[in-house]
Amino acid sequence: MSSSHLPSVAQRLKGKVALITGGASGIGHCTAKLFRRHGAKVVILDIQDELGKSVADEISGDDDGGATYIHCDVTREEDLHSAVDTAFTKYGKIDVMFSNAGVAGTSKFGLLQFPQSAFDRAMSVNVTGMFLAAKHAARVMIPERKGSIILTASIAGVVGGATNHAYTASKHATVGLTKNLAAELGQFGIRVNCISPSWLETPLATGESGLRGRHFDEFARRYFKLRGVKLTVEDVAEAALYLAGDESKFTTGHNLVVDGGHTVIDTASNLYA
């Protein structure tokens, strides 16, 4: 069933316009599909041009304007400035910015061998990119005095030792940035929240761990304490849907952790393990 034929009661984002950075793959792709099913116009921002165009075509359905792809490198302010302006001109507003694009950095080096270039790259995409996406979304949301900005963080922004130094530092920064943006933008009716998923099988995570399929599941299961379910990109997309929609109208500055108990239970000393 195409998104345009869904019952209106199911369309929690009907009439909204959502921008998604990193929307061509992984969490971003899944979220783009979910947002469309719930009635949003979706703008995919990515550097993977062929893939991004394919996703936009896939999710547009019967509505030619239902989804759009725009090439955007989130480390370049001019790209984000132009992408936001293009989306605003096309749709007349921006209700949601899901700043999701990210890189893993590298897990191959300890501190003394860690290349500055890898650290700088992670901070540029995962922190500066988040900042710029929020900045330019806010630029058009402030006059409307409403909007939802969502950043993709990680359990690496909650605990130490889950992954490499660069990614961990960048995701701690993302959580802090979320709180500061919420503190400023609340006066304009703009909500800012972040989502912190645990290990899940995306191109980013499998590239970091080198594990796939059953081996990835066995690795992740050591940390999850919630049994009988598996964390998927759909779970993260559902979290984004909640934060994008009116159901979360009084939620801001919040880090929504989606981790099956990973960060609240000490695996080494768990009495119930």
Contact 134, 112 (CB under 8 A): no
Residue 271, amino acid:
L
Residue 203, amino acid:
P
Q: Which of 167, 223, 242, 272 is catalytic?
A: 167
- The reply to whether 272 belongs to the active site is no
What does DSSP assign to residue 1?
-
What does DSSP assign to residue 21?
E
Q: Which residue has the tokens 């119930």?
A: 272
Residue 92: count other Cβ atoms within 10 Å of its Cβ.
Answer: 9
CA of 15: how far to CAs of 36, 95, 140, 242, in Å? 11, 9, 17, 16
Show the 3-state SS of 214-267.
Answer: HHHHHHHHCCCCCCCCCCCHHHHHHHHHHHHCHHHCCCCCCEEEECCCCCCCCC
Helix, strand or coil, per DSSP, at residue 117: helix
Give start and end residues of each alpha helix (H) in the chain: 26-37, 49-60, 77-91, 116-123, 129-141, 165-185, 203-209, 213-221, 233-244
Q: Which of 232, 45, 19 is nearest to 125 (CA)?
A: 45
Q: Which of 166, 130, 172 is nearest to 154 (CA)?
A: 172
Known catalytic residues? 167
